[in-house]
Amino acid sequence: MKRVVLVTGATSGIGEAMVLEWASRGAQVVAVGRRKDRLEALEARLGRETCLGVEADVCVDGSMEKAVAAALEKFGQLDVVVANAGFSVSGNITSLSIDDFHRQFDTNVYGVIRTAKAAVPALTATKGSLAIVGSVMGYVSMPGSGAYAASKYAVRAIAEALYGELAPKGIRVTHVAPGFVESEIRERKNDGTLVPGSDPVPAFLVMKREVAAKQIARAVDAGEREVIVTLHGKVAASIARHAPELVHLAFKAGASKLRHRKDA
């Protein structure tokens, strides 16, 4: 019997790439997202016997239970669930509104919790895997990224707790921490507006989403506790863990140079 993999945030970026990657590995995939046209495009590309598109919002209570029910009705089981849906709010903490923080946490944190709670019964039945997509920003909080980083620190804590809590049920948990990967996330304003071509990260630092998806699928299939994606991500996380003072010195130096340029 084929494995069944459910991915949230499946209509772009890493999420879409993971749907395609697991399908290429012979799995049946459940693509969950809010954009119906993109879900239909995935179904058409992969075929309805391989891919089921489910329109759902991780911010809405009960939505993920309906998505899981649709997956079970179509394919009969769930072997892997990837809690991937997320977005980024940027800006200095004191300049952001409380609503900005609510929206950031509702998607990135509560969305993961809603997904996990909805998926656990089905994953218990198959002794399956739960992958939780955080970020390298769950290790390093940069100026201007406090809201996003805080949500990803929380996601890392949730993944670590679930690793122990779900082990007795036979469910393996993998925390996924991508660095800069090809995605729309950095091209969206805080209100969700997409500005194509506005990614501030140099192209040479950005990993192709297909490459990232292969690394993630491999780690989840192997039952790894964590996978940090991209070389710069591994370096940043290692420095944050073992020499955090270097991170703070770098940020101070950067802030000092910025002030100097403004004063000049």
Give the per-residue SS3 of the chain.
Answer: CCCEEEEECCCCHHHHHHHHHHHHCCCEEEEEECCHHHHHHHHHHHCCCCEEEEECCCCCCCHHHHHHHHHHHHHCCCCEEEECCCCCCCCCHHHCCHHHHHHHHHHHHHHHHHHHHHHHHHHHHHCCEEEEECCHHHCCCCCCCHHHHHHHHHHHHHHHHHHHHHHHHCCEEEEEEECCECCCHHHECCCCCECCCCCCCCHHHCECHHHHHHHHHHHHHCCCCEEEECHHHHHHHHHHHHCHHHHHHHHHHHHHHHHHHHHC
Looking up residue 108, the CATH number of its domain turns out to be: 3.40.50.720
The reply to whether 168 falls in a domain is yes
The reply to whether 246 falls in a domain is no
Name the residues annotated as catalytic. Answer: 148
Check residue 263 and give its pLDDT.
38
- The DSSP bridge partners found for residue 156 are none
Structure-token match 């890392």, residue found: 156
Query: Looking at the 3D structure of the chain, how many domains does it have?
Result: 1
Over residues 160-199, the pLDDT tens digits come to 999 999 999 999 999 999 988 886 665 566 666 655 665 5
Over residues 228-253, the pLDDT tens digits come to 998 888 888 888 888 777 766 655 55
Check residue 205 and give its pLDDT.
74
The reply to whether 258 falls in a domain is no
**Exposed / middle / buried, residue 253 (Cβ in 10 Å: 0-12, 13-18, 19+):** exposed
Q: What are the strands of the beta sheet with 80-83, ordered from one edge?
A: 51-55, 28-33, 4-8, 80-83, 129-133, 172-178, 226-229
- Domain of 50? 4-230
The reply to whether 180 falls in a domain is yes
- List CB contacts of 159: < 8 A, sequence separation 6 or more: 132, 134, 173, 174, 175, 226
Over residues 70-124, the pLDDT tens digits come to 999 999 999 999 999 999 998 999 999 999 999 999 999 999 999 999 999 999 9
The reply to whether 204 falls in a domain is yes
* Cα within 13 Å of Cα(231), Cβ side: 2
Q: How far apart are CA 100 and CA 67, in angstroms?
A: 27
The reply to whether 31 falls in a domain is yes
Angle at 215 between CA 64 and CA 128, to 5 degrees: 40
Check residue 248 and give its pLDDT.
64
The reply to whether 35 falls in a domain is yes
Q: How far apart are CA 73 and CA 212, in angstroms?
A: 30
pTM for the full predicted model = 0.88
Residue 207 scores a pLDDT above 50: yes
The reply to whether 236 falls in a domain is no
